[in-house]
Structure 1
């Protein structure tokens, strides 16, 4: 696999090595050995999958310690714009984001470390989205930010009148109004 660094340290794009022939293709979608060597050592404990239609926007979500999560995300069918926002107070990239298009054709994966809010918008008629987490979901630890926070300036690549949100995702605070954020000086992987 090839690891592509982004503008925010620790947030990386992963391109698997694809083997094509007349039958189709093959690739390793995950190798713990390679991931630990090339990205960082994490132990994934949960795999999730969602199906959504065009215009669905999920995010911007995170989990607070002690249930903070790293995620390794990918698209099985369709296309999304996937976004990671640095929400670590004191970080040199605090409030900045990385956005990457993940598609069934490019097979890219996106690693979002602990300390980031995560979300995606569906760009295709339908998407099947999979992700690995290195901590179990804990509802009491949920956190989220407003998807349309003007200070974040995220172009979700969908007209605002076409965006479909859950009821919960309609009511999250802006970054500057968030009651709880990560601290850059804390080691989130202890």
Structure 2
């Protein structure tokens, strides 16, 4: 599909599934090379990262754990600037390498807050793997260790990302064209 409609908005195809798969392979190769002997705990940030995390984990070629946290900072098409933690981490991370699996880093507020919370628990290292990064939207100085694709500061849906809950199931990523 070249165009889709979700609720009251029109979207055009911007990143096909084949480009996403290529980015995942490149990220997994780097993670496999750098973390194979670190016993990392992968942390999927729900809801948006569920597809990215599942597909990336299938490409990791060493034993590791995965856990989940649920954070919220978006309403409609924009960030509220406030991060709400809806489900927290149960695992002990002291002395461990932790890899945050994030679907998209735009303002950097969510990832910065989560890194701060995790660092208070004395992990050995906190790394960030994000499928998508919007450098023009980033307002925080956050280190991103594994970046799949850099994209413009547009509103997007698909592959886990949503517009008011819709569009997460799409295998491709679409950009809003109708504001």
Same fold? TM cut 0.5: no
Give the helix-richer structure, 1 or 2. 2
- Give the structure-1-normalised TM-score: 0.28
